[in-house]
Amino acid sequence: MIMLIKSGLVHSADSVSTATGPGARAQIEEAFLWDLRTIYPSKEAWEEDIKRLREELLPRLESFRGQLTTPENVSACLKLNDEIGMIFSNIYAWANMTFHENMADNRAAEQSSRADSLLARVSAETSFIRPELLGQPATVLRSYMDTATFSDYRHLLERLILLQPHTLSVSEEELLARLGEFAATPEDIFQKLSVSDMIYPTILDDTGKEVRLSPGALFRFLNSPDRDFRQRAYEGISEGFRHSRNTLAATLAAEVKKNCYYAQARRYSSSLEASLGSEFVPRGVYDNLIQAVNSQLSQLHRYVELRRRILDINQVYIWDMYLPLIEDVTLEIPYSKAKQLLRDGVVPLGKDYQNVVETALTGRWIDVYETEKKRVGAYAWGTYLSHPFLLLNYDGTARDLITLAHEMGHALHFYYTFDKQPYVSSSIPIFTAEVASTVNEFLMFDYLMKISDTTREKLYYLNILIENIRASAFTQVMYAEFEQALHERIEAGQALSADSMETLWSDILQKYFGPCFAVENSAKAWWSRIPHFYSNFYVYKYATSLAASHDISRRILAKEPGAVENYREFLSAGDSDFPVSVIAKAGVDMTAPTVVENLLKYFGELVAELERLLFR
């Protein structure tokens, strides 16, 4: 069970370096570095767990192969499988978080690679469990569910029964599991090409000074009022991706073909059905989302047109989409101030929540600043045997503050779930994972706008909130449409190339951003930079999660009776129930289209308010 939440909202990628580039890790004070020794005090301790897993636990598990025909054996096997999962999660998390401190560190890269290889082995050697259990009649599995011995595993058995039509024989499942390491190759190639091997140019900044581009620095540069500089920065980042467009297209096509192969092997009608079905999300939830967003694209077109008016330009280009519209408000937020603002912003969630946040802020759960070759962006990662960790690239902007709140939401979701659930129910499905993070965002924005001293400061935060909803509800669904189209083309027997991907991407981009948006070459390369396309049908969940969190935060801020208590029940639920049912614990019905519609209407209200305040 690997708990990694990779943030894909715009603000989660907005952790940026100084203009002269990131510094060396050794120069950062210890208080601002996470302490991975709470997982393993040394590499030797990590090696000991690997040895124990290989030489003791996996051989013990092998003794259950072919023997899962009695309640006693099934119970013992499931408990041993949990023990393996808990230990392996530590092995995998420590190796990869260590690697993310410096992705040019070959030793750390080798450790990460070893963890990936071990993941493939663990997957292969545990792969017999599901098909053997499903080899028994459903009536037998249901009889297990009614006993105290299997109280922790009731929902697991319920899910297995539903997956029975898509489960292969023991030998076939083992074969698919052993393909795991190869199946990760497209994403691995993308990561190494886009992070480690990509050479970014040096350009002149808005003061005429030479600066080295980096993915982290890009979004800071895009905040510059100097439009020519913004264009140089965006085109400079895009240059390397366009130079590697054929390689990146082949890599993404390989990822899509892999997904289609697995869907076909498991007897699903499509890759989308496989993704939704494996997570027990009704197809209607996805279709309602796409339909709702498409029906409200005029709201996004209105916002792009408003941006054009404010910037006083003929057409909006991609490098115009990230510039704060309230240009005379500059908010520098040192990390010390950001921590206090976060403390104050989460007050509506109660004392216990506040106390855990304080522990995270002071207990070295967080790797704060960008350093040389550190993984870009932000995430939260936790294992059942450790407290959660947060990776940031904090650089003192308001968006970095919101990123801190976002990732802290993930961390406390882990914390409460791990505290309340047995290991078997302690994973957090991606469908529900972004709810806690974006509830924190809505609470923070509400607090920041309340304490703002001036109208223009309120406008500044209003613009960021609009941008976040735009990024999560519109942009992520745009990504989902592109991803779905790629898979449908492969499933129809068609080929994919850099040219066809660029044409498809350009058409979707124009549809979403509207008639005053110009799709030029660097915008056409946008698809090649999206890491989430290597996580099968991941991106749409940002939009559904944001719709749910908007509904939850609205109830909490209105102090509706039971709103905080219901939300805490959601935070503690993990995957003890089906995802839509887990969200329902917080009072949200994701099968109803009104949840998404209300978010999009709220977006329209925010745009109208921004327009009113600027042009009154």
Q: Return the sign of the alpha-carbon dihedral for residues 83, 279, 169, 172.
A: negative
* Start-to-end C-alpha separation, the chain: 54
The helix or strand, by DSSP H or E, that contains position 210, with its residue range, turns out to be strand 210-212
- 521, 242 contact by CB (below 8 A): yes
User: Quick one: tokens of 425?
Assistant: 């129910």
Q: What span, in angstroms and rounded, lies between the C-alpha atoms of 13 and 403? A: 9
Q: What span, in angstroms and rounded, lies between the C-alpha atoms of 404 and 390? A: 9
- 138, 164 contact by CB (below 8 A): yes
Pairing of strands 389-391, 366-367: parallel
- 254, 534 contact by CB (below 8 A): no
DSSP 8-state secondary structure symbol assigned to residue 385: T
- 607, 572 contact by CB (below 8 A): no
Rounded to the nearest 5°, which phi and psi values hold at 477?
-70, -35
**What single-letter amino acid sits at 518?**
A
3-state secondary structure of 285: helix
- Residue 583: exposure state from Cβ atoms within 10 A (0-12, 13-18, ≥19): buried
Q: What span, in angstroms and rounded, lies between the C-alpha atoms of 1 and 92? A: 10
- 57, 98 contact by CB (below 8 A): no
| Residue 407 appears among annotated catalytic residues | yes
DSSP letters of 149-201? GGGGGHHHHHHHHHHGGG---HHHHHHHHHTHHHHTHHHHHHHIIIIISPPPP
User: Looking at 101, 235, 279, 407, which residue is catalytic?
Assistant: 407
What positions carry a catalytic annotation?
407
